[in-house]
Structure 1
Amino acid sequence: MDAIVFLLIMVAAVTAIRARRTWVVLLSVAVAFGFALALFLHHATDTLGVSL
């Protein structure tokens, strides 16, 4: 899942450089942000397992 998020961020960056339409860039950034947020929320609920 991590690799997919990094790939989407890379695709969004390349799209931002090469695309002629603004909506294509915004859509690719929004999709990458959505997946990154989902990955963060998935990992934010994990416990650390540290006991003192």
Structure 2
Amino acid sequence: MYSYNFITIRITYEELCIKFSSILIGLKKFYRHLKKQFSEKLKISVVYK
């Protein structure tokens, strides 16, 4: 019984790690996309000034 619980805990922990890393990667891509958009807007505003 104990080993079974340990295995399920370990599996859920690994799943959490995978989900967390995928969320982090998604946030990184989103941040990079936002940064790119923001820098383009800044360039446009600088050009218009």
TM-score range (shorter-chain normalised) is 0.5 to 0.7
Structure 1: segments with no counterpart, 5+ residues: 1-19
Aligned length: 33
Q: Unpaired runs of 5+ in structure 2?
A: 42-49
Query: TM-score, length-normalised on structure 2?
Result: 0.53
Q: Which has the higher contact order (CA 8 A, sep 6+)?
A: 1
- Which 4+ stretches in 1 moved above 3 angstroms? 48-52
Using structure 1 for the length normalisation, give the TM-score: 0.50
Aligned identity (percent) is 6
- Higher helix content, 1 or 2: 2
Q: What's the RMSD between the two structures over aligned residues?
A: 2.2
